[in-house]
Chains A and B, each alone.
Chain A
Amino acid sequence: MTLAMKDALQSPHRTLGAPFTALDDGQVVQAFLEGNDRAFDELVSRYQVRLLNFIYRTVGDRERAEDLVQEVFIRIYRHLHRFDQTKKFSTWAYTIASNLAKNELRNRSRNPLVLFQTIKRHWEADHRPLQFEDSSSRPDDLFRKRHLRELVEQSVSQLPEHHRVVFVLRELEGKTYEEIAEITGCNLGTVKSRLNRARNNFAAIIQPHLD
């Protein structure tokens, strides 16, 4: 057993791509295309959490979001040899993720059983006992914070699908308008319009609770 394998077995979350941490995404992609499989580990390490959070905030189901992130990496692996290396790898990865998330939402709206299972899972999560994360704060403050966090999450999930994607990409992922346009396949004007509506809707939902 090699040292690298031992390392992987003992700490499966650690990337084996240590030599690649100093490279930018484009260089890591190039290394993979030249035959270095460990470069792909580095790409996974860099993007797995970011993509998971993006997809999770968009589809609202953590388990399903993880499945979709796996699918994103499978598609990247399959098609990386066709990726235009003059473009940003990040934008391409998010484009794949965005398409999968949108498909997931569309499938859910068509399949009552999938929708029921999602609702049921959320219901069970919502009815878990309160957990006090911060022992230094007062219980009612903690309750309020938790309530507000849940409210904010629900506000996002109530946004229409195409508004939600743009809102999450802008507010949580920090993407520029141009990047969002490329990821979603829309023009700049549409991105701005959707973002504006998403912000208006979000504020309208949350405002009564913050007043």
Chain B
Amino acid sequence: MNCCEFREQYSDFADGLLPPSSRAEADAHLALCPACRRFDAALRAGVTLLRGLPSVGVSRGFGPRLRRRLRGELAVRMPGMVGWSGAVGALLIVAAAGFIGWDWLETRAAHRGAGAQQASGSPGWVAAANSASHPGAGDPGLPPDLPRIQIETFHPLNSILVIEQAPPAPGQDRVRFDVPAVWGGP
């Protein structure tokens, strides 16, 4: 065995993993080679020193800091509650969907009712408190060219204020504003 071969197999030699014949060759080479003897001695001394280094300990804040982070993990994951929160969430979605659907149906029904009411001739025009007037409404205090407001009520809780500028000036387009209104009357 030469120095190169000895160094290549050194790990197995140091860990006692060489087969007996190879071990004998390595021992023989070591006995004859001062360089490899110094190499072997240096490694063993170095590892002994390394293992003798003081062990580092965790700082005083390590435990509390870790616990805080773990509490944060728990708050995000809530592993015990995942199943429950999923079921509750699904129930809420179904309930919300049901409410929205009911509301839409009610709205449509009320809208049809309001349309029928209109078709029956009721204009539904209302003079707004401050600024609306209806041509011929008979309110002498308000100028006739102010916008008039129509309230289309198609649901007790849902109304639209339709503001039309009337009468339109010659050459001027009629302007219509549909403004959602909350009906808070008695």
Compute how far the CA of A79 lies from the CA of B60 in the bound complex, rounded to whole angstroms.
Answer: 26
Interface residues in A149-178 by Cβ distance below 8 A to B read 149, 152-153, 155-156, 171-172
Compute how far the CA of A192 lies from the CA of B39 in the bound complex, rounded to whole angstroms.
Answer: 18
Compute how far the CA of A200 lies from the CA of B56 in the bound complex, rounded to whole angstroms.
Answer: 26
Tally of chain B residues near chain A (CB < 8 A): 36
User: Across the interface, which residues of A come within 8 angstroms of B73, CB to CB?
Assistant: 74, 77-78
Compute how far the CA of A196 lies from the CA of B39 in the bound complex, rounded to whole angstroms.
Answer: 13
- The answer to whether B57 touches A152, judged by C-beta atoms less than 8 angstroms apart, is no
Min CB distance A9 to B, Å, is 10
Tell me if A90 is interfacial: C-beta within 8 Å of chain B.
no
- The answer to whether A77 touches B56, judged by C-beta atoms less than 8 angstroms apart, is no
Tell me if A19 is interfacial: C-beta within 8 Å of chain B.
no
Binds B, one of A48-56, A96-104, A119-127: A48-56
- The answer to whether A152 touches B46, judged by C-beta atoms less than 8 angstroms apart, is yes
The size bracket of the interface on A is 35 or more
Closest to A193 in B: B11
User: Across the interface, which residues of A come within 8 angstroms of B10, CB to CB?
Assistant: 196, 199-200
- The answer to whether B58 touches A77, judged by C-beta atoms less than 8 angstroms apart, is no
- The answer to whether B58 touches A49, judged by C-beta atoms less than 8 angstroms apart, is yes
User: Across the interface, which residues of A come within 8 angstroms of B43, CB to CB?
Assistant: 199, 202-203, 206
Which of B39, B57, B66 neighbours the largest number of chain A CB atoms within 10 Å of its CB?
Answer: B66
Known A152-B46, A171-B51, A203-B43: A70·B62 in contact at CB below 8 Å: yes
- The answer to whether A148 touches B49, judged by C-beta atoms less than 8 angstroms apart, is yes
Tell me if A44 is interfacial: C-beta within 8 Å of chain B.
yes
Within 8 Å by CB of A192, from B11, B41, B49, B69, lies B11
Compute how far the CA of A155 lies from the CA of B49 in the bound complex, rounded to whole angstroms.
Answer: 12
Interface residues in A49-73 by Cβ distance below 8 A to B read 49, 52-53, 56, 62, 65-66, 69-70, 73
User: Across the interface, which residues of B come within 8 angstroms of A149, CB to CB?
Assistant: 49, 52-53
Return 23 A-B CB contacts under 8 Å, by A number. A13-B58, A13-B63, A48-B58, A49-B56, A53-B55, A56-B56, A66-B59, A70-B66, A73-B66, A74-B69, A74-B73, A78-B73, A81-B79, A149-B52, A152-B53, A199-B10, A199-B14, A199-B43, A200-B10, A204-B39, A206-B45, A207-B39, A210-B46
- Chain B: residues with CB nearer than 8 A to chain A? 7-12, 14, 38-39, 41-43, 45-47, 49-53, 55-60, 62-66, 69-70, 73, 77, 79
Q: Which 6 A-B pairs have the closest CB atoms?
A: A207-B42, A203-B43, A196-B11, A206-B46, A152-B49, A203-B42
